[in-house]
Amino acid sequence: MPRPAPGTTRSAAAAERDLQLPRPRLAARDATAEAVAGIVQRPGRAVLTMIGTILGVGAFVAVLGLTATGAGQISHQFTVLEDTTVTVEDNGPANNTAPPNNNPAIGFPADADQIAGHIKGVTAAGVWWPVSLPQNASFTASLALGATSSQTINLLAASPGAVTAMGLSMAAGSPLTAYENTTRQHVAIIDTTTAATLGISAARLASHPAVFVNGIAYTVVGVYKSAQRVVTDESAMLIPENTALADYGNPEPGIGNQDEAQMVIATRIGAAQTVAKQIAAAELPTDPARLVVTSPPNPQNLQSQVSADLAGLFLVLALISLLIGAVGIANTTLVAVLERTEEIGLRRAVGARPRHIAAQFLAESTTLGTLGGLIGTCIGVGVVVIFAATKNWTAVLNPVYTLPAPLIGSLVGLLAGAYPALRAARTSPLAALRHG
């Protein structure tokens, strides 16, 4: 390998011009290659070093994802039904001294349904109450001895508006009408389960079957298969409000009695809060305090509360993990610098400048951090997706937080590598090469 002979007469100026051409530099691509080579030659250590960053970034992504998923789920639960239902209960007059079997008139006016209907946002509203029957009351479809009877049916009085607000989905026949209410007809609608128990099929409806409640006959005019409100999951028999008043008298007021008069109000989405504020004064201007209004919790408040609580706590944990990750990377990089003093000296001997040495170790720690961040993000996303899948929820991941998450790792690596890189750059090539 012959060396080209140097120029015969070399002037100092020419030599200096010559020297200025190859100024030492380390291409970014070479620096990255060196950093990656430095990492992959000790893969086990690299993984251990990255654990803190993996945990930190993973926790960050998972926490934000889980809170977003949970909040999404909460808002989902509050949509449609709960968010559109307002309940008003009759707590009775201020000083109710009426004897038990002489209950005061119900707190709602006769035109309660119409009054509620005038409030903006109300789609349907009506009064209902569970009719208080003596113990061992029997429900039968026939007076004949041995006929099927049932005692587990709830007899409810309901105004036409209440029937509408309950959102019944009819299997056969029709819901209770205003006419049947004002004329105190002995009619009823029952759910399909009750119908089956009593032996009334939808096909038999045309023949006006009757249900006897303690001997009083009610003609079944409709059978419903499901309801959105109030009678969602119980066997029930609904009779007109005025029929119930005539047959059984006033219900006992007072919350906690289980059979006080109530109003169920279906509202448009988002209107429940507003309706709840107005309904008591509208229905009973003389004594609005008698009516106790229950509205669904404001879903926005609930969401932000859950998010703030959970996210706040877990983000602190994520931050701690990141800090541990940074210390881990700083520690390992520092050890690597001390371990590789010889390598640093050699690199200096083959023309590396201190800044090239610093760049190499900085690139190494940053690459470690980025890798940790990437793995952490993947794990975080995986945790959110698996958690959502097991709960049958929809995973919600905000790309604004998730996509740049690996960069958190890069930043941690960059900061953690600063001091070791400085130490490496200050290593004297002489001290390094004396090792041997």
Partner 1 sequence: MSGPVIELDGLGRTYPGPPPVPALRPASLVIEAGDYVAVTGPSGSGKSTLLHLLGLLDTPTEGRYLLDGLDTSRLNDRDRSALRGRRIGIVFQAFHLLPYRSALQNVLLAQLYNQTPRGARLQAATEALDAVGLGHRLDALPTTLSGGESQRVAVARALVNRPSLLLCDEPTGNLDSANAAALMEVLDQLNASGYTIVVITHDPAVAAHARRAIAISDGTLSERIAAEHA
Residues 290 and 90 sit within 8 Å (Cβ to Cβ): yes
DSSP β-ladder status, 187-191 and 291-294: unpaired
Give the total residue count for the chain. Answer: 436
| Residue whose CB is less far from partner 1, 30 or 234 | 30
| Cα dihedral 186/189/194/197 (nearest 10) | 60
Residue 75 Cβ vs partner 1, minimum distance, rounded to whole Å: 54
Residue 3 Cβ vs partner 1, minimum distance, rounded to whole Å: 4
| Residue whose CB is less far from partner 1, 146 or 436 | 436
Residue 375 Cβ vs partner 1, minimum distance, rounded to whole Å: 22
| Residue whose CB is less far from partner 1, 42 or 268 | 42
Residue 43 Cβ vs partner 1, minimum distance, rounded to whole Å: 11
Closest by alpha carbon to 83, among 71, 94, 75? 75
Q: How far apart are CA 53 and CA 30, in angstroms?
A: 25
Would you put residue 167 in left (φ > 0), alpha (ψ -120 to 50) or beta?
A: left
| Residue whose CB is less far from partner 1, 15 or 269 | 15
Residue 17 Cβ vs partner 1, minimum distance, rounded to whole Å: 11
Q: How far apart are CA 173 and CA 176, in angstroms?
A: 10
Residue 337 Cβ vs partner 1, minimum distance, rounded to whole Å: 15
Residue 367 Cβ vs partner 1, minimum distance, rounded to whole Å: 16
The 10 Å CB-count burial string (b at 16+, else e) for 207-240 is eebbbbbeeeebebbbbbeebbbbbeeebbbbbb
| Residue whose CB is less far from partner 1, 3 or 203 | 3
Token digits of residue 89 = 């209960």
| Residue whose CB is less far from partner 1, 22 or 146 | 22
Residue 2 Cβ vs partner 1, minimum distance, rounded to whole Å: 4
| Cα dihedral 176/182/188/192 (nearest 10) | 20
Residues 181 and 240 sit within 8 Å (Cβ to Cβ): yes
Residue 32 Cβ vs partner 1, minimum distance, rounded to whole Å: 12
Residue 31 Cβ vs partner 1, minimum distance, rounded to whole Å: 9
Helix ranges restricted to H, 166-228: 178-182, 192-198
| Residue whose CB is less far from partner 1, 3 or 399 | 3
φ/ψ of 134, rounded to 5, equals -60, 155
Q: How far apart are CA 95 and CA 85, in angstroms?
A: 29
| Residue whose CB is less far from partner 1, 6 or 399 | 6
Residues 202 and 172 sit within 8 Å (Cβ to Cβ): yes
Token digits of residue 86 = 């307002």
| Residue whose CB is less far from partner 1, 14 or 147 | 14
Cite the beta strand spans of 99-229 per DSSP E.
122-130, 139-140, 149-150, 154-158, 169-173, 187-191, 210-213, 216-226
Per CB under 8 A, residues contacting partner 1 are 1-12, 15-16, 19-20, 22-27, 29-30, 34, 37, 41-42, 342-343, 345-354, 356, 429-430, 433-436
| Residue whose CB is less far from partner 1, 6 or 99 | 6
